[in-house]
């Protein structure tokens, strides 16, 4: 009787251990499957996040402070112009000689057309001034090399580029 009990206990423990192993296996598998699933964001949570990070409501304060606001806007505008090279000057000679252009165009570096009749002079004759300005602003790769957009100084304005190209053309007779 007692020997039989022992045999039963042994088999039963093995069965229990096996079932526990299966249970743990299933739990791990379920965990793995759950990790693969992408749950959509809760729309309520998204809305409350947006609410939290939204700017504070705009307050209309009448004309109080309007003068300061105008002054601040003007100061901002002035600061923006100050960032334009040469203080926004449209003197072609300054932009060409003090800007990036001379580095390539004076010596003909990298296939840049020089300021002479065979260089820029021939180009303006073939394409016209407007086309030269357009291409100098946008940059292009031609048959002799690569002209970087705005000569590599993105802060130069269209008017400054126009002035620089006009200067180049005037020097290329
Ligand atoms: C890194 C050298 C480099 C710099 C800096 C540079 N260029 Fe050029 N540029 C070139 C090269 C190279 C070409 C010719 C490309 C070709 O035709 O293959 C060219 C061509 C041109 C042309 C002729 C465009 C045409 O249609 O044939 C103009 C105009 C010009 N550059 C203006 C300027 C101006 C203005 C500046 C300064 C703001 C400037 N470049 C700065 C390299 C340069």
What are the backbone angles phi and psi of residue 38, rounded to the nearest 5°? -100, 115
- Between CA 114 and CA 101 the distance in angstroms is 10
On the 0-12 / 13-18 / 19+ scale of CB atoms within 10 A, 172 is buried
pTM over 0.85: no
Q: What percent of the chain stands above pLDDT 90?
A: 63
- For 95, counting Cβ atoms within 10 Å of its Cβ (0-12 exposed, 13-18 middle, 19+ buried), the class is buried
Q: How many A from CA of 113 to the centre of ligand 1?
A: 7
Residues having CB closer than 6 A to ligand 1 are 99-101, 103-105, 110-113, 123, 127, 131-132, 135-136, 142-148, 150-152, 156, 161, 164-165, 168
> What is the C-alpha to C-alpha distance for residues 161 and 154, in angstroms, rounded to an integer?
10
Please state the rounded mean pLDDT for residues 26-55: 90
Distance 88 CA to ligand 1 centre (A): 21
pLDDT level of residue 1 (50, 70, 90 thresholds): low
Instruction: Give the tens place of pLDDT for each residue, 74-108.
Output: 888 877 766 788 888 889 999 999 989 999 999 99
The residue among 79, 100, 80, 110 whose CA lies nearest residue 154 is: 100
Return the top range by mean pLDDT from 21-25, 58-62, 158-162.
21-25
Question: At 120, is the secondary structure helix, strand, or coil?
Answer: helix
Predicted confidence at residue 170, as pLDDT, reads: 94
Listed residue (167, 124, 97, 125) closest to 135, CA to CA:
124
Give, using CA atoms, the residue closest to atom 3 of ligand 1. 104
Please give the number of the atom of ligand 1 that sits closest to the Cα of 152.
Answer: 5
Looking at residue 67, its pLDDT comes to 83
Stretch among 3-12, 72-81, 98-107, 161-170 having the lowest mean pLDDT: 72-81
Atom of ligand 1 nearest to the CA of 100: 5
């Amino acid at each position: 009787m007692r020997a039989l009990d022992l045999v039963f206990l042994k088999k039963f423990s093995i069965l229990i251990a096996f079932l526990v192993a299966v249970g743990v296996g299933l739990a791990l598998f379920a965990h793995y499957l759950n990790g693969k699933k992408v749950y959509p964001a809760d729309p309520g949570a998204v809305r409350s996040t947006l609410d939290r990070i939204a700017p504070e409501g705009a307050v209309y304060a009448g004309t109080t402070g309007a003068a300061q606001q105008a002054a601040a806007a003007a100061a901002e505008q002035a600061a923006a112009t100050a960032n334009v090279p040469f203080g926004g000057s449209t003197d072609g000679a300054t932009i060409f000689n003090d800007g990036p252009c001379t580095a390539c165009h004076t010596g003909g570096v990298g296939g840049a057309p020089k300021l002479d009749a065979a260089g820029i002079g021939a180009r303006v004759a073939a394409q016209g001034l407007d086309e030269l300005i357009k291409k100098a602003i946008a940059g292009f790769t031609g048959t002799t090399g690569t002209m970087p957009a705005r000569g590599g100084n993105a802060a130069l304005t269209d008017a400054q580029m126009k002035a620089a190209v006009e200067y180049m053309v005037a020097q290329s007779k």
